[in-house]
Amino acid sequence: MSILTKTKQLYQALEIDFEIVSLNQLDNYTAIEYFLTLEDEPPENANNLQKINRYLQVFHHLCEVAEWQKAGQVLSFCPISKALHEQLRIWGYYRKQIELYQALLGKVNSDYDMICLYGLGRAFYNLSDYDQSLNYYQELLKLARLINNRQAEGLVLGGFGEIQYIKQNCSQGIAYLQQQLDISREIGDREQEGYALNGLGYFYYFWGLNQGKENYQQQGLNYLLQALDIVRNLGNEEIESLCLSNLSQIYLNRGQYDQVLIYLLPQLEICKRSNDIFSKYFVLEILGECYVMLKQPNQAIKYMQEALMVTRERGDKFHERIILNDLGVLYCYNLKRYQEALFYFEKALEIMQKLNLKGYPATTAVNLSVCYSYLKNQQQSIFYLNMAQSLVAKSDSLEEKGLVIMATANSYWLRDKIWYKAWGIFLAIKSLIIIPPWRSANGRLAMESAIKQIFGR
């Protein structure tokens, strides 16, 4: 007996009976048969979408004839290593995911509705459309509580937490993730427990950094190590990759570059195996930032430009802004190529203003102010400095406050009068007290700026 291929297994599972197919539906069913039994396998050099195109075609043909249950089977079918809809997410095809979920939502049963609603929430989150993401998560929360599905409720609360953190409502984001952690432990969902601990670890560490609270930072690190241990025992490489990325970012921020490599190298191996586009972005971003701090700009540019391409392929505006700002920092502070730096900073600020997320534009406004001051354009420098001061007044982030003070110091230092320079030195020292170099990457950059002001090198 011959072994059925995956495509023929799916065709068999769909149980299509041509004897009862109506004439006006025949073309759709014939197309389904062709894609699953006759079409040649994609070539070895096929891109990711070509590898799964036949299943997408089958899904849409089933929707054309209102075979919603069968379409749901295709959605859940594993063509490679994940269910079709999850494979699309791993590869960064969020808009394709959205098409599938919206076509099936409300057509089969509550189980599929929960899959679709959660998938839509995640897909819009990954596309930086946080309002749409929140709408779908809220709809899912109502359904989960209506049918008493605690697992889905936990997933929604985790989604709420991520959105609140992006919007810089850190304490609220942590509260949601803590609820997710409690539910995961209550129902014995170890995978979701690892996911919640990973999020809590990242949030606590960087909230503690912004608040100047070392106990929060240590708590965050402990959570991340717990999460890593859980997901490694489960063999969940996707969440493991997220944990490794977060740990790499923490040690990069601390300036412990040997530790960065300890966590980054296994993440690289996971990326190669899974072709996870989201993990790939983080690896490239961290490598780029690492090379900035190591004063190797050519290597930094290489990895940052790759990361920028990945964010644009994914349609991820939030992380595109981060890479644009990082490129601006590199061109401004390392290479002294201020016009090129302005291009990246202005693009980053434009994205943040479109996303309408409070707080985040402050850092980019600081960088624009410094960049214009080096170009001797005092009017524009003061404009962006005032913008940064206005934004940071609404923030409780010590990192942002320290950066704004350093930008103000820079503005005074570049003026001609001696008392301006003296005030600039005073403010530079004040900035270093707020964000000392041993505490964060921003602190080390601020120290370099202060040294240049005081000693002229």
Q: Which two tokens stand for residue 346?
A: 């202005």
In a domain, 440, yes or no: yes
In a domain, 99, yes or no: yes
In a domain, 68, yes or no: yes
Tokens 């989604």 correspond to 159
Query: What confidence score (pLDDT) does residue 1 get?
Result: 39
The band of 89, judged by pLDDT with boundaries at 50, 70 and 90, is very high
Kindly report which listed range (54-68, 267-281, 293-307, 413-427) carries the lowest average pLDDT score.
413-427
Task: Taking the CA atoms of 370, 375, 376 and 382 in sequence, report the sign of the dihedral they define.
Answer: negative
Domain count, the chain: 2
Average pLDDT score, the chain: 90
Task: Taking the CA atoms of 441, 447, 453 and 457 in sequence, report the sign of the dihedral they define.
Answer: negative
What is the SS3 assignment for the chain?
Answer: CCCCCHHHHHHHHHCCCHHHCCHHHHHHHHHHHHHHHHCCCCCCCCCHHHHHHHHHHHHHHHHHCCCHHHHHHHHHCCCCCCCHHHHHHHCCCHHHHHHHHHHHCCCCCHHHHHHHHHHHHHHHHHCCCHHHHHHHHHHHHHHHHHCCCHHHHHHHHHHHHHHHHHCCCHHHHHHHHHHHHHHHHHHCCHHHHHHHHHHHHHHHHHHHHHHCCHHHHHHHHHHHHHHHHHHHHHCCHHHHHHHHHHHHHHHHHHCCHHHHHHHHHHHHHHHHHHCCHHHHHHHHHHHHHHHHHCCCHHHHHHHHHHHHHHHHHHCCHHHHHHHHHHHHHHHHHHCCCHHHHHHHHHHHHHHHHHHCCCCCHHHHHHHHHHHHHHCCCHHHHHHHHHHHHHHHCCCCCHHHHHHHHHHHHHHHHCCCCHHHHHHHHHHHHHHHHHCCCCCCHHHHHHHHHHHHHHHCC
Domain end point (choices 67, 86, 104): 104
| Contact in structure between 260 and 252 (CB atoms under 8 Å) | yes
Q: Which two tokens stand for residue 362?
A: 């402050």
What is the rounded radius of gyration, in angstroms, for the C-alpha atoms of the chain? Answer: 25
Mean pLDDT of 153-160: 97
The band of 241, judged by pLDDT with boundaries at 50, 70 and 90, is very high
Kindly report whether the global pTM for this prediction surpasses the value 0.85: yes
Query: What confidence score (pLDDT) does residue 350 get?
Result: 92
In a domain, 415, yes or no: yes
The band of 453, judged by pLDDT with boundaries at 50, 70 and 90, is low
Q: Is the pLDDT score of 67 beyond 90?
A: yes
In a domain, 15, yes or no: yes
Domain end point (choices 104, 119, 145): 104
Query: What confidence score (pLDDT) does residue 455 get?
Result: 56
In a domain, 127, yes or no: no
The band of 359, judged by pLDDT with boundaries at 50, 70 and 90, is low
Query: What confidence score (pLDDT) does residue 374 get?
Result: 86
- Domain that residue 383 falls in: 356-457
Q: Is the pLDDT score of 328 beyond 70?
A: yes
CA distance 198 to 133: 20
| Contact in structure between 246 and 201 (CB atoms under 8 Å) | yes
Greater confidence (452 vs 123) lies with: 123
Q: Is the pLDDT score of 456 beyond 70?
A: no
Q: Is the pLDDT score of 296 beyond 60?
A: yes
Mean pLDDT of 123-150: 97
In a domain, 164, yes or no: no
Query: What confidence score (pLDDT) does residue 457 get?
Result: 46
Query: What confidence score (pLDDT) does residue 54 get?
Result: 95
Domain end point (choices 104, 128, 154): 104
Q: Is the pLDDT score of 357 beyond 80?
A: no
In a domain, 301, yes or no: no
| Contact in structure between 72 and 104 (CB atoms under 8 Å) | yes
Instruction: Supply φ then ψ for residue 348, to 5 degrees.
Output: -65, -45
